[in-house]
Structure 1
C-alpha cells in the first residue's frame, strides 16, 4: 500500500529529526542538501557548516580521497555501497576517533533528473573496538605459547599485539 505524500513527508521528518544515524542527502554536485543534525559526529556543527558543503569540507578528520572515492563510485556505477568501514577523527570532537560504517544509495528522482545520493552513517566505534580486541586475542591464541621458553613467549606476545 503506497503512502500519501503527507505520510512520506512525516516519515522523512521523523527520520531526519530523530535518527541516531547520520543521514545525508547529496545533490549531483556532491553537496549536502539535507542532513540529520542529531547524527553522531555532526551534533555540534551548525547547519551553515554542513548544508551546501561537500562531506569532506566538514569532516577534516577523515581522508578526503576516501570519502570522494566512495561517493564517486556510487555516482559512476549507480550501484549502492553498503557497510563500508572508515576511521577518522570526529568533526565535532577532534580528540575522538570514530569508526563509521557508511552506506550510500543513488537517488534518481531529483527535479532536474540528475542523480543525487542518500548517505547513511552509523557510528560503530564501540563494536569495532570490541572486534579489534577479539582479533588481537585470536592472534595471541594462535601464536603465543608454542614453547615454555619465557623469552620466546614474550616475543610472541609482542608480535601478536602489533
Structure 2
C-alpha cells in the first residue's frame, strides 16, 4: 500500500471473513460491523464535497466523532490495537515537533554566533597595523660596500 491505512480500511480488513474465492461477496463477522462501515461511507458522502479529498486526519475525525460515537475508555470501536498505534503516533508527532522547535532555536543561535564572529573579524581587520621594529643596522651595509674591490683593468 505504501501509506498508513485509514480506519475504515483497517476495520474492513479485520471485520470481513476471509474469502474462499476472490469473486465471493464480503461476509461481515457481525451485522454491526457492516452497518458501521456503511455508515462511514454514507457520512463521508453527506459531509464532503467532491472537491475535498479525504485525508487520513479527516477520516479519523469522521470515524471517531460521527460513526462510532467517539472513544470510550481510550478505545474506539472496531480498531483494536490500532488505537494504541494512533496514540503512539500522536505522541511521536508531538516529540518530533518539539525536537524541530529546538533544532530551529539552536540553528538561530548558531547563526547569531557566526554573525558575531564575522563582526569581530571585520573589526580586527580595520585596526591600524603597527610596523615591526627594524633589526637591520645601516652601518654594516655600508661597510660591506667598502670591502668590495674592483679588480678590472
TM-score, normalization by structure 1 = 0.30
Structure with more strand by fraction: 1
TM-score, normalization by structure 2 = 0.31
